[in-house]
Structure 1
Amino acid sequence: MSARKSTRLAAYAVCVENEEVLLARWVGPSGRRWTLPGGGIDHGEDPLDAVVREVMEETGYSVQVDALLGIDSIRRALPGTLSDTDWHGLRVVYATTVTGGELRFEEGGSTDMAAWVPLAEVAALDRTELVDVGLELARTRPPTGRNEGVLPA
């Protein structure tokens, strides 16, 4: 039996201010892990509009998009009850700046907290690899938008 194929397109924000990064705590099937604010792009929605919407939903902040940092491509085999899924994730990563709002937590969504985390403390967090990917894209600003420095888990 061949695996079912699935693709997910999402947009995420790297927002760094005063040596702190804005993170959201994702509630997934394997528990809670810190990640970049962002998420799935709705059908017909522009990725830039999606990241602005997602940051507001997950953190309470309005943001402006400063730059496209890159597109991260990951692929995973996901076991299923009837068949396995060959899953492909495309993650559009933007540099953003907070322009308004107040920090608050999402209710009834895929995240349950948001916080400013000192960059020096990120390595000690239970986090998704997307945090490292996004910070590396922000640090290196590769001209192709492809991150060669952090390989997906």
Structure 2
Amino acid sequence: MRRKLRVAAYAVCVREGQILLARSPGPDGTPEWVLPGGGMEHGEDPYDTVRREVTEETGYRIEVTGLLGIDSLRFAGSRRFGRRTDHHGVRIVYTGEVTGGELRYETGGSTDFAAWQDLDAVPGLVRIPLVDTALRLWRERPPTGHTGPGSRPLPQEMNEE
């Protein structure tokens, strides 16, 4: 089984009871809300990644104001080119404060829209699970930077080649 590691950095930007989110097409094409952020480039510091990605996806410049935690996700992907892939995502979640720029939408990237959403409205949005994880980190501020139990067990089929 092919193995793939992706490290990414995201920002929770909250002001006046709203959170900054970006919209991305989901696996089936249905739009879903995501945190602004994304994958690190080789040699890039995660702190720089989150600032770059927020600007790319929303038009805003941010100051990183804290580290909320790190989330990890592992799953087996579908067969591609005759092989299954064991995906492992490491997601670094920061808090950020908008310091400049103007809200705009990304063109030619992974998102197509950005907006401030009321925190109370988030449960009714079509969103990726990382939004809920990040909001839980933001609300609870666990000293370990982790919201759940230890490592998640792998499904049996992931261990099969």
TM-score, with length taken from structure 2? 0.89
Q: Does 1:54 align with 2:53?
A: yes
Counterpart Cα distance in 2 of 1:30 and 1:20: 28
Larger Rg: 2
CA displacement at 1:26 relative to structure 2: 1.4
Distance of 2:116 and 2:101 partners within structure 1: 14
Q: How does 1:1-153 map to 2 (within 5 A)?
A: 3-31=1-29, 32-81=31-80, 82-148=82-148
Q: Which moved more, 1:41-50 or 1:19-28?
A: 19-28
Give the letter aligned to residue 5 of structure 1.
R
Consecutive unaligned residues of structure 1, counting only runs of 5 or more, are none
Are 1:28 and 1:110, in contact at CA under 8 Å, matched by a contact in 2? Answer: no
Secondary structure of 1:42's counterpart equals coil
Segment drifting more, 96-105 vs 76-85: 76-85
Cα deviation, residue 29, structure 1: 2.8
SS at match of 1:69: strand
Structure 1 residue 28: Cα displacement? 3.5
Runs of 4+ off more than 4 Å: none
Residues 39, 51 of structure 1: 8 Å contact kept = yes
State the Cα RMSD in Å.
1.3
Tell me how far apart the structure 1 counterparts of residues 112 and 25 of structure 2 sit (CA, whole Å): 7
Could you say what secondary structure the match of 1:55 adopts? helix
5+ residue gaps, structure 2: 153-161
